[in-house]
Structure 1
Amino acid sequence: MANNGLSKTEKKVAFSLASVFGLRMMGLFMIMPVFALYGQHLEGFSPLWVGIAIGAYGLTQAALQIPMGILSDKYGRKPIILIGLLVFALGSLVAANADTIYGVVAGRAIQGMGAIAAAVLALAADLTRDEQRTKVMAVIGMCIGFSFALSLLVGPIVAQHLGLSGIFAITAGLAVLGMIIVQVLVPNPISQAPKGDTVATPTKLKAMLKDPQLFRLDAGIFILHLVLTAVFVALPLDLVDAGLIKEKHWMLYFPAFVAAFILMVPLIIIGVKKKNTKATFQVALMIMMVALGAMALFSNNLMVLSIAVVLFFTGFNYLEASLPSLIAKFCPVGDKGSAMGVYSTSQFLGAFCGGLLGGGAYQLVGAEGVFAVALVLMAIWLFLTLGMENPVLLKSYTLEATVEGKEQAREMATQLSQLAGVAEAIVVLEEKVAYLKVDEHFDLREARAVLGSVS
């Protein structure tokens, strides 16, 4: 099998799992730009409960993300994914039939209980070769970004014609479509990828939190999604106050997201060319801070708000795309699953806290207060990045190891560490696998010779 591109099966895996992920995330995102506007008929409606309803899925996602990944390791990826999608569909139906905002909160919380992110990424790892795994994960990541952009377009249009209940009904339908894709299009894995690459190990979670570089990134994704959710509690109401009727909000959001995606590209190119990810990262943070400052100071000026939305998404898109790859670069070799488990939990917990904070702040101090609090949080994140290191550009490999005992595993790890280009090496006896981080001087054939693998 050629190593220079995705095989036919890997392409099928990438696009089918990306579709499943994208459909589910679109279902979660569609209410963000419209709930504060179209939920006002619900009994118990208030800005605080709007925030709780928007962010409720994050709490259950955060609580169940790692356990669902572990269950997928025990009972199989596809059964857990199917159960998660079914739970997500049921939560959508509960929200669709709710007459009170509390019913919507319950439905959103149930949606979050279908926490399939870890299982989907683990299945993607199971079905792809190590050297192609990054490409498959990138396709899934791009699809999530596209689903978010599409939700900003589709959400307001669907809400205009079918109301909130229509959005939740469509969301349930998307979950069912996802289940069909999993059953019909996603291949069945013959073997599982090594646990270190995919599923979080509970005993290692504390170590992940103690790592200063990983902690900065976990705190960052927490703040990023807290700010995103809080902003979408206040921004739709603010845009109406500034003169943009709710039926036309999609005409701002979608072009703004596309423009932001184009503006993000130079940031990526500069970061790669200068080999200074930290500086580019900080520039993206400052762009978001400028946007939030403009939102707070010019909340009644539609033109300024529109420019601020473009800037906000420019910074957000860059940071959202950069953080997972930085986690992979900074995490200890063989611990990517645990590092990503903590990262995902932080992300969803941030969404819940953002809803709570955004709703509470709007109720107390209005939209300007929400944007000001978000600006302060971004400033805290910027301060945290001062101690951030530029990641060394290393490539990761996961290779089979014909190893029978602890002594042999130690000897293999020692020999691998001495090879040219190997920065870090670990051999895990229980998984019969070697995890390597290497630079451009690494020779894969030499490593395979040490491991006794068939080249």
Structure 2
Amino acid sequence: MSIPVARPGQSSRAKLKLTPTERRASVTLALLFASRMLGLFLLTPIFAVAAQTLPGGNDAAKVGLALGAYGLTQAILQIPLGMASDRWGRRPVIIFGMLLFIVGGVICALAENIDWIIVGRVIQGLGAVSAAITAWVADATRPEVRTRAMAMVGGSIGISFAVSLVLSPVLVGEFGLSGLFWAISLLGFVCLLIASFVVPSVPQAKAPIVQARPRDVLAHVDLLRLNFGVFCLHFILMALFIVMPGLLATLGHYDSANLWEVYLPVILVSFVLMVPAVFYTETRRMHKVALEVAVAGLVVVLALMPLASASFFATVVMLVGFFIAFNILEALQPSLVSRVAPPEFKGLALGFYNTAQSLGVFLGGVIGGLLASLNRPSAVFLLASALAFVWFLTARGFKDQT
């Protein structure tokens, strides 16, 4: 009886296919992450205006605190909950975090003044489960397909942001600010159901828990480079979208109700163009090159934005370029964290990573808002480009271990 002989490259191609368990875990965790991020982003486009209907809502400092409190408490809790997920498992930690997210959302929905909104947002931020979710993705996938799985999770950020721009004005217009927070709480409940019953169980890396020490992560140079990278990426995202809505509205004669007509196609086109780049990176094992090229792309796009800002079409083209690089980096960097971090503190490493991301969101919004208040939108673009250039210099020292 003859034995089938594998064709050259056949086994390697098979290894690059997601198994049924990997596919189910990746899709359901991406859905979980997308629902949670949508709950976060729904507030961003409309809160500053909608908060004026509440007592104290005209106090810009309190409005800023209500928005920023979530990011700050997220940053504080990412590391402890990342460590907890290493010790007690991903699912219990995520369920606990989503319960806090729901409770905080309900408090905000019932709030009668801006102070109670701040309290609710603080409690929402205590449910810092991003590290546990990304660690779960890493647990469920092999290294050779992990970037593709992370692309599903990372791409959900851009898609959730685009969807929030469509839904947020509609929800506030129909149901008011309270209705928006009830919708956010409902999304938290959906996340709770997904984490509890839908995501498949996968074995977690077995290693002595005593080895999971923060100083191990802080002494790991490549992990520090990746943490700095995600800080830069989300600093740039928040700063950019403080000035971009007004710029597009002025150039394209849009208002806040229909800016989604610009954002949604931009996000979708950039995501479609990102997929071949991620697949090429995996098949050629060119993760370091992809990292450097994507960051360099950010530098160029952001440097050109002050010139492009005189034209609506040119601005949209630059925005597409930005999101191509953004989506690639959003997929690539968590995968690299999971590759370079030893199994025994994978969750802790991703906790530091998501802490850096939350700090980038907070500081990007604060500093971008300060520059925008001085009527210096070009300064936002140039600062973002300079920060991306510093990131590029640090990324060049990353050791390709893929």
CA distance in 2, matches of 1:36, 1:347: 23
The answer to whether structure 1 residue 110 and structure 2 residue 123 are counterparts is: yes
The answer to whether structure 1 residue 371 and structure 2 residue 371 are counterparts is: no
The answer to whether structure 1 residue 231 and structure 2 residue 240 are counterparts is: yes
- CA shift, 1:141, in A, is 4.4
Query: Alpha-carbon deviations, 1:214-238, whole Å to 9, x = none?
Result: 2221101011111112222332233
2:77 to 53, 61, 64: 64
Q: What secondary structure does 1:378 align onto?
A: helix
What's the TM-score once normalised by structure 1's chain length?
A: 0.71
Aligned to 2:290: 280
2:42 to 11, 20, 30: 30
Query: Alpha-carbon deviations, 1:324-354, whole Å to 9, x = none?
Result: 1222333356543333222122112211222
* Larger RCO (CA within 8 A; separation ≥ 6): 2
CA distance in 1, matches of 2:226, 2:86: 26
Point out the more displaced range, 43-52 or 61-70.
43-52
Work out the number of aligned pairs and report it.
385
CA distance in 2, matches of 1:265, 1:186: 24
1:304 to 314, 321, 327: 314
CA distance in 2, matches of 1:330, 1:282: 17
Aligned to 2:5: none
Structure 1 or 2, whichever has the larger Rg, is 1
- Aligned residue identity for 1:96: A
Aligned to 1:169: 182
The answer to whether structure 1 residue 180 and structure 2 residue 193 are counterparts is: yes
Query: Alpha-carbon deviations, 1:300-342, whole Å to 9, x = none?
Result: 6433332222122111111111111222333356543333222
Aligned to 2:221: 212
Structure 1 runs not aligned, ≥5 long: 394-455
Q: Is the Cα contact below 8 Å between 1:33 and 1:155 reproduced in 2?
A: yes
- Structure with the bigger percentage of helix: 2
CA distance in 1, matches of 2:110, 2:309: 34
- CA shift, 1:201, in A, is 5.7
- CA shift, 1:125, in A, is 6.4
Q: Is the Cα contact below 8 Å between 1:294 and 1:304 reproduced in 2?
A: no
- Aligned residue identity for 1:231: L
Query: Alpha-carbon deviations, 1:376-401, whole Å to 9, x = none?
Result: 21222122223334x143xxxxxxxx
Q: What secondary structure does 1:387 align onto?
A: coil
Q: Is the Cα contact below 8 Å between 1:241 and 1:300 reproduced in 2?
A: no
- Structure with the bigger percentage of strand: 1
1:387 to 394, 397, 402: 397
Q: CA separation of 1:260/1:226 partners in 2, compared to 1, >3 Å: closer, same or farther? A: same
Q: CA separation of 1:144/1:309 partners in 2, compared to 1, >3 Å: closer, same or farther? A: closer
Q: Is the Cα contact below 8 Å between 1:285 and 1:378 reproduced in 2?
A: yes
Query: Alpha-carbon deviations, 1:393-419, whole Å to 9, x = none?
Result: 3xxxxxxxxxxxxxxxxxxxxxxxxxx
What is the correspondence of 1:83-98 to structure 2 with a 5 Å cutoff?
Answer: 83-98=96-111
CA distance in 2, matches of 1:248, 1:355: 23
- Aligned residue identity for 2:181: F
CA distance in 1, matches of 2:236, 2:83: 29
The percent identity for this pair of structures is 37
Q: What secondary structure does 2:44 align onto?
A: coil
Query: Alpha-carbon deviations, 1:55-109, whole Å to 9, x = none?
Result: 4322111211121233345555444322211211122233334565555444333
Q: CA separation of 1:301/1:367 partners in 2, compared to 1, >3 Å: closer, same or farther? A: same
Q: Is the Cα contact below 8 Å between 1:293 and 1:372 reproduced in 2?
A: yes
Query: Alpha-carbon deviations, 1:174-211, whole Å to 9, x = none?
Result: 1112223333434567x754258xx89652x2232233
What's the TM-score once normalised by structure 2's chain length?
A: 0.80
Aligned to 2:33: 21
Q: Is the Cα contact below 8 Å between 2:99 and 2:127 reproduced in 1?
A: yes
Q: What secondary structure does 2:183 align onto?
A: helix
CA distance in 2, matches of 1:363, 1:275: 44
Aligned to 1:344: 354
CA distance in 1, matches of 2:292, 2:332: 12
Point out the more displaced range, 274-283 or 221-230.
274-283
Q: Is the Cα contact below 8 Å between 1:32 and 1:233 reproduced in 2?
A: no
- Aligned residue identity for 1:23: S
Structure 2 runs not aligned, ≥5 long: 1-13
- CA shift, 1:249, in A, is 1.0
